[in-house]
Amino acid sequence: MNIQGLIERYEKFKASKKKLTSVDLVLKDLRSLDEPEPLPFKLKDVVRRIRGFDPTTQTRWLNDILKELGDDYGSMKYRSGYEQGKLEGAWVGNQLKNADKIRQELNTPVIPKFVAEIIEYYKKQNATLYDALREKNFNKQYNDWLLNEHDAYNKFARAWLFGYEVEEEKRYIVRLKNIREDHETLNCERHSKIWNFSSEEETTLYKTKHTRKELEDAGFSEVFNSPLFEVEEVE
């Protein structure tokens, strides 16, 4: 009940000449004044009316409504938009970061260990990329790689400028043909670097899987071409 309703109620009592002797009745009426008055219109009616305006009028009405709501609504809307923007910005940033990481990984050249050693040596000497490429004049293995590896010069330049991954070197087991088992496999003693023929099993003392460079440095380069040897590539 609103104030006007309460006045009309007591006006009726006055017209009927009844006495207002009930305190409880008055208190009950006073308490009912706290009840909110019903809206004279419904929200959907307002929305329907605004939608009936042309776009310019719609914009003006909406701006006026937001203005009347005051700074609290504007601050709330700003904070909501700010937090959403931070969330979306972080997501976009992560996507770009991941894309850049993938791009770098795709562009990272994979080079043999000996090529990586050449790069590191010349960089320590504060030399130039040109100086490092001229090493081919003194290093046959490097020169062969530059001649035979696909796009080798470009790969070397990218490795020099942007970094690289070292290629997993192939390893080989070398066996003498027609020799008794457990005596046919080329072994290398890990500490002394002494070579001999024994069993194929690797131990803490002996290794039986060797890289091409290890074999060449030890003077066994001909095992790849000799009919006396069997060479098996292994993981």
Asked whether residue 22 is domain-assigned, the answer is: yes
Of the three residues 134, 166, 198, the one that is the final residue of a domain is 166
152 and 185, same domain (yes or no): no
Higher confidence at residue 225 or residue 15?
225
Asked whether residue 137 is domain-assigned, the answer is: yes
Whole-number Å distance between alpha carbons of 139 and 147? 12
Asked whether residue 70 is domain-assigned, the answer is: no
Asked whether residue 42 is domain-assigned, the answer is: no
| Residue 1 near residue 33, CB atoms below 8 Å | yes
177 and 222, same domain (yes or no): yes
* pLDDT greater than 60 at residue 27: no
Which of these ranges, 88-97, 98-107, 171-180, has the smallest mean pLDDT?
A: 98-107
Task: For the chain, give the mean pLDDT.
Answer: 79
pLDDT of residue 168: 84
186 and 227, same domain (yes or no): yes
181 and 230, same domain (yes or no): yes
Query: What value, to the nearest 5°, has the Cα angle with vertex 135 and ends 131 and 140?
Result: 165
152 and 207, same domain (yes or no): no
Asked whether residue 197 is domain-assigned, the answer is: yes
pLDDT of residue 94: 66
Tokens of 64: 């006026």
What is the tally of structural domains in the chain? 3
The pTM (predicted TM-score) of the whole model is 0.40
Asked whether residue 216 is domain-assigned, the answer is: yes
Whole-number Å distance between alpha carbons of 100 and 108? 12
Tokens of 122: 């010349």
200 and 229, same domain (yes or no): yes
Residue 134 main-chain phi, psi, to 5 deg: -70, -10
Query: How many C-beta atoms surround the C-beta of residue 172 within 10 A?
Result: 19
175 and 162, same domain (yes or no): no
Asked whether residue 222 is domain-assigned, the answer is: yes
177 and 230, same domain (yes or no): yes
178 and 199, same domain (yes or no): yes
Whole-number Å distance between alpha carbons of 92 and 88? 6
Asked whether residue 198 is domain-assigned, the answer is: yes
* pLDDT greater than 90 at residue 208: yes
The boundaries of the domain holding residue 224 are 171-234
Q: List C-alpha distances in Å: 185 to 177, 194, 201, 209.
A: 9, 14, 9, 10
Q: 3-state class of 211 per DSSP?
A: strand
pLDDT of residue 170: 87
pLDDT of residue 101: 57
* SS3 sequence of the chain: CCHHHHHHHHHHHHHCCCCCCCHHHHHHHHHHHHCCCCCCCCHHHHHHHHHCCCHHHHHHHHHHHHHHHCHHHHHHHHHHHHHHHHHHHHHHHHHHHHHHHHHHHHHCCEECHHHHHHHHHHHHCCCCHHHHHHHHHCCHHHHHHHHHCCCHHHHHHHHHHHCCEECCCCEEEEEECCCCCCCCEEEEECCCCCEEEECCCCCCCEECCEEHHHHHHCCCHHHHCCCCEEEEEEC
149 and 196, same domain (yes or no): no
